[in-house]
């Protein structure tokens, strides 16, 4: 109530300027949020939904920061973490950076009974929607269909299924660990 009285005591011009600034910020936020409809592939439209305990929009930097048990979903992809930064480029999302202890990523398999669900975890996960690229940094691991890779840095091209793993630039070189499931040959299965 006291805030309302303070506003009423201000000259009409000041209240109008304050309301205009708030309206401009809200309009900018609404326009930015409409940009969350983003094509996963050039021929189809997709919607990214992000939820968190708090969200702060910075119009000048064209970013939204979510905090507190954050979850982002895009079709069959889900990213979860403690904090998430959406970086916009004009009206499109250029990257989604998620941090956590660890941050996690899940991509459901193509069919309900398939074993090609991909799961990943790292201290930091960066998703580039336009490139359909996932970058896992610090204590990173990726598992799909029983195959696993662990490294300090993993770049995973989701569309192509390509993995590039190694040490982060400027850090102590660490080894990449891969565990692959090799199916039994037909002759072994017939015996």
Of the CATH numbers 2.60.120.260, 1.10.460.10, 1.10.760.10, 2.60.450.10, which one belongs to the domain with range 48-186? Answer: 2.60.450.10
For the full predicted model, state whether its pTM sits above 0.85: no
pLDDT tens figures, 34-60: 333 333 343 356 788 999 999 999 999
pLDDT of residue 176: 74
66 and 102 Cβ atoms separated by less than 8 Å: no
- Give the residue carrying structure tokens 């950076």: 97
Measured CA to CA, the distance from residue 64 to residue 125 in angstroms comes to: 16
Residue 18 has what DSSP assignment? H
pLDDT of residue 114: 60
pLDDT of residue 119: 92
With H, G, I as helix, E, B as strand and everything else as coil, classify residue 25: helix
Confidence label for 186 from pLDDT (cuts 50, 70 and 90): low
Which value, to the nearest 10 degrees, does the dihedral of the CA atoms of residues 159, 66, 170, 129 take? 20
pLDDT of residue 188: 55
Burial of 70 (0-12, 13-18, 19+ CB in 10 A): buried
pLDDT of residue 66: 97
Given a cut of 80, whether residue 80 has pLDDT beyond it is yes
Measured CA to CA, the distance from residue 68 to residue 76 in angstroms comes to: 22
């Amino acid at each position: 109530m006291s805030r309302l009285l303070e506003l009423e005591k201000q000259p009409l011009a000041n209240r109008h300027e304050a309301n205009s600034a708030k309206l401009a910020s809200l309009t900018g936020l609404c326009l930015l949020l409409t940009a969350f409809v983003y094509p996963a592939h050039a021929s189809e439209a997709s919607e990214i939904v992000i939820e968190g305990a708090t969200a702060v929009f910075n119009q000048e930097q064209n970013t939204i920061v979510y905090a507190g048990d954050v979850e982002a979903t895009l079709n069959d992809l889900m990213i979860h973490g403690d904090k998430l930064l959406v970086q916009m480029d004009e009206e499109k999302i250029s990257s989604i950076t998620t941090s956590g202890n660890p941050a996690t990523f899940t991509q459901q398999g193509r069919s309900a009974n398939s074993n090609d669900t991909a799961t990943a975890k790292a201290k930091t996960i960066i998703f580039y929607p336009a490139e359909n690229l996932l970058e896992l940094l610090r204590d990173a691991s990726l598992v799909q269909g029983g195959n696993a890779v662990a490294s300090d840095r993993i770049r995973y091209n989701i569309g192509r299924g390509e993995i590039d793993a190694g040490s982060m630039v400027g850090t102590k070189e660490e080894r990449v660990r891969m565990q692959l499931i090799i199916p039994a040959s037909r002759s072994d299965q017939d015996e």
